[in-house]
Amino acid sequence: MIITKMALPRRTFLRGIGAAVGLPLLDAMVPALSGITAPPAALARRLAFIYMPNGVAKNSSIDYWTPKGEGNDFELSQILTPLEPFRDRMVIFSGLDQNQAEAGNDGASGDHTRGTSSWLTGVYPKRTEGADVRNSISADQIAASVLGKDTALPSLELAIDLNFLAGQCENSYSCAYLNTLAWSSPTTPLPTENNPRIVFERLFGDGGDAERRAAQARQNQSILDSVLDDLHRLERRLGPGDRTKVTEYVDAVREVERRIQGVEARAETQLPTLDRPKGIPERFDEHVKLMYELQWLAFRADLTRVVTFMLGRELNFRTYPEIGVTEGHHGLSHHQDRPEQIAKYAKVGVYQAQLFAGFLKQLQATPEGDGTLLDHSLFLYGAGLSNPNTHAHTDLPLLVVGGRDSIPRPGTHDQSAAGSFRQNWRAGRYVGRQQRPVGGVTR
């Protein structure tokens, strides 16, 4: 065995013309004879928050979300059945309320706005239609201040819906509260991005304004082509195992790039008068899968370790014809306690969970260090409403899933587990140091 004193730094990039491409964890990134049994990046922790708009399919007597039974002896609900393969690395919480999303002095409406804005802040937002919004720093940004200090992007804010709403959206609340989960300060909401092309360029290229991106898109040269010389020089320094990892990773990046270009090509040929941004798939599932795949690539290249992802904005009118749901999302969520409407709305929840399960499966299949990407990640999956028909902020639908070592009592559904999670969160055990309480969540 030949041992050298050289080791690649974890933050190694392939640099070319207008591009900087991160790499996955390689054996060559472990210092020779360092005594480290697991590569340093295996200690990296990823944290992501996946938000479902408009609550879940339930009322006082019908519940398609909550499992039956408690502790380790429970039966997954219809909505959560797609997550069965991850049962032993998941905790489902029941009994958590968000009091800061209740009406207070604002009257009966505004629940969608407060449900979104308080989900990661635990703070009652200031009611205003203007620019003088006020909330609080969100949990993802608290985590990003720790987990994101060594990555190119401290955090990534993603969404499926366009981030274009401005002015007043609900009961004299600014639309800023509905457009994002992430707040870097009480007065600074962080904009989301829903265009896969822009997200890709943010992660792997220089990006730029719309005109510059359009010029770049017209070029026939792939983003990766400009770094091939650097790649070939790097490969000569790597062992066979690392060369295989690099090849697989580059192939995965090219595949995502190809899919984005394919979406754009179809838009050009089939919808020549299309006035929405290019790169956004027509179908919900294609769009969500692509956004999940970009998150996978970002985690794998260690470009970011904190993500918020909104599967939709509250009050949205999206339909899901691919699963037979032709009514608008928000309208269907107001099921009027009709069993057939609640059952139909449950199909949307199952659909969302299936897509999330596919993402978790991809993470679980990606080796990293002494485990997998999923072993080194933690996800909060849930909503700011429970029963959407009454705009309820009690007994919120919430679960965490990821590495077993990051979760108290994995494989359980137990109300006492909610208290354990809250104590661990406030102690900072999920973000690597002690933090102040985010606040607002009660049992």
Contacting residues for 251 by C-beta, under 8 A, at least 6 apart: none
β-pairing, 398-402 with 90-93?
A: antiparallel
What are the pLDDT digits (tens) for 263-273? 555 445 443 33
β-pairing, 412-413 with 90-93?
A: parallel
| Residue 12, phi then psi, degrees to nearest 5 | -85, 135
| Residue 63, phi then psi, degrees to nearest 5 | -145, 110
What average pLDDT does the chain have? Answer: 81
The structural domains of the chain, with segments of one domain joined by +, span 1-43+196-279, 46-194+307-442
Q: How far is CA 164 from the centre of its chain?
A: 20
Q: Is 187 left (phi over 0), alpha (psi -120 to 50) or beta?
A: alpha
| Residue 93, phi then psi, degrees to nearest 5 | -100, 140
Contact 126/134 with Cβ under 8 angstroms?
yes
Q: Which residue is associated with the tokens 């306690």?
A: 337
Query: Which CATH number fits the domain 46-194+307-442, given the four candidates 3.40.1000, 3.60.70, 3.40.720, 3.30.420?
Result: 3.40.720
What does the alpha-carbon distance between residue 411 and residue 428 come to, in Å, rounded to a whole number? 22
pLDDT at 437: 35
In three-state secondary structure terms, 273 is coil
Both tokens assigned to 356? 């999330």
What does the alpha-carbon distance between residue 115 and residue 268 come to, in Å, rounded to a whole number? 38
Within 10 angstroms of residue 3's Cβ, the number of other Cβ atoms is: 7
Contact 344/326 with Cβ under 8 angstroms?
no
What does the alpha-carbon distance between residue 26 and residue 240 come to, in Å, rounded to a whole number? 11
The amino acid occupying position 190 is L
Q: What is the DSSP string of 20-75?
A: EEE----GGGSPTT---SS-GGGG--EEEEEEETT--SB-SS-BSSSPEEEBTEEE
Contacting residues for 132 by C-beta, under 8 A, at least 6 apart: 126, 187
Q: What is the DSSP string of 71-108?
A: BTEEE--TTTGGGGGGGGGEEEE-S-EEGGGS-GGG-S
**Residue of 340, 371, 348, 276 whose CA lies nearest to 79:** 348
Indicate the pTM of the whole model: 0.79
Query: Which helix (DSSP H) or strand (DSSP E) does residue 309 occupy?
Result: strand 306-310
Spans of the chain below 50 pLDDT: 1-6, 17, 33-42, 207-210, 213-214, 220, 266-267, 269-277, 417, 425-443
What does the alpha-carbon distance between residue 221 and residue 229 come to, in Å, rounded to a whole number? 14
Both tokens assigned to 215? 């010029």
Q: What share of the chain is helix, strand, coil (3-state, %, to 5)?
A: 40, 15, 45
What are the pLDDT digits (tens) for 307-344? 999 999 999 999 999 999 999 999 999 999 999 999 99
Sign of the torsion formed by the C-alpha atoms of 27, 31, 37 and 43: negative
